[in-house]
Structure 1
Amino acid sequence: MPDDDDLVLPPLPLATGARLPDPDGRRITAVALVVTTEDGAQTRVELRPEHGAWWAPTPPPEG
């Protein structure tokens, strides 16, 4: 079980869709969550496409 202070993404789609809204309408090829800490550092969490939605990455196996 993760520590209470760990960032844990839920096991549900964080975004849906394959195109940006009009008038742009371009096809989306990647979606990322950018986390900024209080010291200004940034970490990108790349989401993975599956079943028409963008999901949090699969956590690495424990062990």
Structure 2
Amino acid sequence: MAGGPHELARYIRQLVDSDGKDTAACGARHEDRPEPQIQAWVSRKAATSRQELTLSDLKRIQRG
């Protein structure tokens, strides 16, 4: 599975796990499946619009 919500969810997890330090769009991969909370959020219609989210916002999304 490449691109789309799945990859966005993995990237968000990478950002949160590194406390915003690892902003590379590719590189070390986390587990094959992103966390359910992040996957659910990026799959929602609201996630398709342009938004500015802080690291705190991303952490809140991860926590559910």
- TM-score (structure 2 length as normaliser): 0.21
Answer with 1 or 2: which has the greater Rg.
1
Bigger fraction of residues in strand: 1
Bigger fraction of residues in helix: 2
Structure number with the bigger relative contact order (C-alpha 8 A, sep ≥ 6) is 2
- TM-score (structure 1 length as normaliser): 0.21
